[in-house]
Structure 1
């Protein structure tokens, strides 16, 4: 019975652990590794001595995620082109955790802002602001003084608030942009799309050096619309379009013979104008979306 209860405790915590690890790492694959490592440590632990299983699991997963993040940042030094977080399905049947209501904390723009923080700032902020973990628990997880954790969260909050990325744009506006983007790619007509973009729109693509894609950030309407209306139209117009909830917002998965060959998501300002277009082309980061076709 005790073993079954121990298994139930881990399974109850798994959605939160996966959601936390993904937000720390920006990678579903690495998040799953962190959760699996946590499970193995849980299996080896003297669970009779663990008073609060949920807190123990959160601490273990947080520490493992920080270790993986530090390692990942070392390998990204040689990354070809722009690095973007791995896109994930966030529809009801695919959501990574029970915190879907906090859609803004899954947005690509938000995850990219988290990349500017130190690993411990990132973990402390997420634990307190997104997962409502107390400061004493955060201090134990990060092996720091509680006062230090409060400072970490304060600095992270100031950086994130300054970036103004946590906007949840109305669904109808997102659908309007998605339709205009598809029209621009399939027909070359960019007029409707142009009206929905901010003047300082940026387009960023991640191919990981494995597939052809633009290697620098495109800036401004003229450059972005020219790329969409010409380059993307030439290569993408024959692909199957699969509109989907991606990282808490409406996006599209482009498929060839059922396999995901690209994933596009967007960021918006407080007025609903698109400020960023994110294109994922790295096949390693599209493998899970291919499996969901």
Structure 2
């Protein structure tokens, strides 16, 4: 058993990255990686020529199984369903940055939700992790031609639905800082100055906490909603609203004395906020605890 864990741990970040993008859930991704470990510890490794390929194949198939049941549950979900946010401040670890910080934004994960399970798997493995077509074909048990077709459809679908021109990191951070200051002050005028006229806000409370059950469209409505939420949240004991790296981009996260409270991810273009994704469901905020603690 002692020789199994180092091999598995060498690929653990990669496996989590695959499972998280496949499922949009921190908890489900962690469970999937644990299931992959159980399969690995019980496998006849004499037949495993490439442990990395074996583990990625196993994790992807386990994630596909979970995705099928998860989609059925989401049909009865209360209000908009958003992926679970994840703090990606990885304390400068290049390995974590590569697995968690690239192409993991909440906005992209929302788009991936509209792909078929097979298209999502191909997009994640090919476009995010750059696995060869032959390897992806082996993972899915499909021909290389079928994988290329799935990849083409997935790329076109994502390109058509992805948020428009994304701001550079510095611009994104500056706009997020202005947005955070306006939220902290409950300042409707300052929020209006930070929001694009056609801004859209989605809130995910999952029936567990107060949230809008439909998208809110238009800068004025979005600003007034956020100001009202800020006013209500100010009474929460120990509320701390901070700038944080949420899913690879500057965003906003908040904690109270009771634990994680909210995560906000912003879509920024042309110096303004076009999209606000707000996760309030407490069941989805486990990823607001830093995954890597500096030594």
Match of 2:77 in 1: 79
Q: In structure 2, the residue corresponding to 1:241 is in which secondary structure?
A: strand
Match of 2:249 in 1: 249
Q: In structure 2, the residue corresponding to 1:195 is in which secondary structure?
A: helix
The within-5 A match list for 1:99-178 is 99-100=97-98, 103=101, 105-165=103-163, 168-178=166-176
Match of 1:232 in 2: 229
Specify every segment of 5 or more residues in structure 2 that has no aligned partner in the other structure, as ranges: none
Match of 1:281 in 2: 280
User: How far apart are 1:24 and its partner, in Å?
Assistant: 0.5
Report if aligned partners of 2:87, 2:290 keep a CA contact under 8 Å in 1: no
User: How far apart are 1:181 and its partner, in Å?
Assistant: 2.5
User: How far apart are 1:224 and its partner, in Å?
Assistant: 0.6
Q: In structure 2, the residue corresponding to 1:224 is in which secondary structure?
A: helix
Q: Distance in 2 between matches of 1:82 and 1:216?
A: 7
User: How far apart are 1:10 and its partner, in Å?
Assistant: 1.1
The within-5 A match list for 1:7-156 is 7-93=5-91, 98-100=96-98, 103=101, 105-156=103-154
Report if aligned partners of 1:267, 1:276 keep a CA contact under 8 Å in 2: yes
Specify every segment of 5 or more residues in structure 1 that has no aligned partner in the other structure, as ranges: none
| Structure showing greater relative contact order (alpha-carbon pairs closer than 8 Å, 6 or more residues apart) | 2
Bigger drift between 173-182 and 112-121 goes to: 173-182
User: How far apart are 1:101 and its partner, in Å?
Assistant: 7.9
Cα 1:101–1:36 change in 2 (3 A) is closer
Report if aligned partners of 2:19, 2:33 keep a CA contact under 8 Å in 1: yes
**RMSD value, Cα:** 2.3
How many equivalent residue pairs? 289
